[in-house]
Chain A
């Protein structure tokens, strides 16, 4: 068995022996339901799709993903197990990848558990299930990017609270950068290219494209590259700490 899968297994198990996993699952499922029906006007729209459901995901992830990733490295650094882990025969890369995959898979499980809403919309009407699948894929890719950000920033500090706040901060910036209101606010004050660039960097922009059912390679690439970038940064941070 490769070291990566050993780390994935350990991490996943550690989610489920502490209440973190269950609390996360319950909050995620309840909130995604409530937001979809009350804030998203699921019924009143009269459309058989899951747009109101997916639209809420960035905001849910904003709070819930940092809560999952904050302990990733901070806890290991504080408890001294970092020394144990990094003196076992695995590379920093493998450790980082294992931890990242575990958290990403976990959110994948949470997403799968939202299937009742998919059942509901199929019962009520005849939605385009291809678009819904794309929505799930986009949501999961976006969650992966949040997790990668959290993984990197958890390596920066020994304090889980600091890791949480830093991650939430970066994530909120990446979401807001694509909000139409924010872009309008800077319209005129900033050059058009800069605003265009901010929009390209924004997660929301790419997520909404995928969630509409448009599987553009560039949007997928955006998420994959973001994940890779943040994970590389995380490994560099860990390596820097070994040298400093």
Chain B
């Protein structure tokens, strides 16, 4: 479990994290989302015990990170931003260093080593210097380091940043398999990641908590939620008729590929009506889709909202 209570960090006059209160329970994969410079990494660094909070508290598995740092650190597996590791060491040396430092007995240490090496498919590079590895492999070494002690709480700062799609997939699968009965906090600015991994999303900007919801709830806030989009050549006439449907709020046509998007009025379901109308018109619809909502749009909406609004919602929450 991770809990922060009005966690705050200031650098001089700049407030990087502003009274952030979140609570992540076992079984949850929480995505910490926000634009660059929103305070994601700073918040994680405080939870990991690297930075000292200016005010407020953070705890890992009930251990306060300032008063009981060693216990908190033992319960936590942490992948810092950019997966730093000692470049001049081989993968084997590096992982053995972590094992020794975490105080494993020889036999359990070996077992964990084998398990993690296998899980992250590092067998072939064990003897290689870390600085000669590709970015993806280095990230995997960093992940191996974070999960070596099989921690109940896992915190990963941009775990898939800079990886190719295959590597991203592999890392996500790993996180997925670890998700059961663990507490996982990942930070990202990739929205696809939220879909792929998280069952809860916290959006922060300028260090403030702006939203705390499930991905589906966030999508529901999108203008696109429940909208129907289709591609049908020569649908000009029907567009007008669609516009006259009582449930329809607006229609947009993509100027490039001619794809039509029909937006519902609040709370209305329009898929059947749109389909029916298109069939009546005898149009050849090559493809039709019910939109779930677009996270990127919601994200923009939330994080670019001007100060007053976000302050108001923050005060409501408090």
B80 touches A83 (CB 8 A): yes
B102 touches A84 (CB 8 A): no
8 Å CB interface, A1-16 against B: 1-3, 5-7, 9-10, 13-14
> Shortest beta-carbon distance, A18 to chain B, in Å?
6
Which of B50, B85, B98, B103 is within 8 Å of A242, CB to CB?
B50
Q: A10-B86, A14-B88, A89-B74 in contact; A84/B100 too (CB < 8 A)?
A: no
Q: Specify the chain B residue showing the minimal Cβ separation from A241.
A: B51
A83 touches B84 (CB 8 A): yes
B89 touches A14 (CB 8 A): yes
> Shortest beta-carbon distance, B145 to chain A, in Å?
7
A18 touches B88 (CB 8 A): yes
Q: A6-B97, A89-B101, A91-B70 in contact; A14/B50 too (CB < 8 A)?
A: no
Mask of B80-94 contacts with A, CB within 8 angstroms, 1/0: 111011111100010
Which of A2, A7, A83, A86 is within 8 Å of B103, CB to CB?
A2
> Does A79 interact with chain B (Cβ within 8 Å)?
yes
Main SS of the interface on chain A?
helix
Q: Specify the chain A residue showing the minimal Cβ separation from B104.
A: A1
Which of B11, B49, B86, B89 is within 8 Å of A87, CB to CB?
B49
B89 touches A1 (CB 8 A): no
**For A18, what are the chain B residues with a Cβ–Cβ distance below 8 Å?**
88
B84 touches A242 (CB 8 A): no
A-B contact count (CB 8 A): 73
Query: How many angstroms from the CA of A91 to the CA of B88 in the assembled complex?
Result: 24
Which of B78, B82, B86, B100 is within 8 Å of A9, CB to CB?
B100
- Count of interface residues, chain A, beta-carbon cutoff 8 Å: 27
> Does B45 interact with chain A (Cβ within 8 Å)?
yes
> Does B143 interact with chain A (Cβ within 8 Å)?
no
> Does B48 interact with chain A (Cβ within 8 Å)?
yes
A80 touches B50 (CB 8 A): no
8 Å CB interface, A42-87 against B: 79-84, 86-87
> Shortest beta-carbon distance, A14 to chain B, in Å?
6
- Residues in chain B within 8 A of chain A (CB atoms): 11, 45, 48-52, 69-70, 73-74, 76, 78, 80-82, 84-89, 93, 97-98, 100-103, 145
Give me 14 A-to-B residue pairs in the complex whose CB atoms sit less than 8 angstroms apart, sorted by A's number.
Answer: A5-B100, A7-B101, A13-B93, A14-B86, A14-B89, A18-B88, A79-B87, A80-B80, A83-B48, A84-B85, A87-B76, A89-B102, A91-B69, A242-B51
Nearest 7 A/B pairs, CB to CB: A80-B84, A6-B100, A89-B73, A6-B101, A87-B48, A83-B80, A243-B52
Further contacts, 16 of them, CB under 8 A, given A10-B97, A80-B81: A5-B100, A7-B101, A10-B86, A10-B89, A13-B89, A18-B88, A80-B80, A81-B84, A81-B86, A82-B50, A83-B45, A87-B78, A88-B101, A89-B74, A89-B103, A91-B70
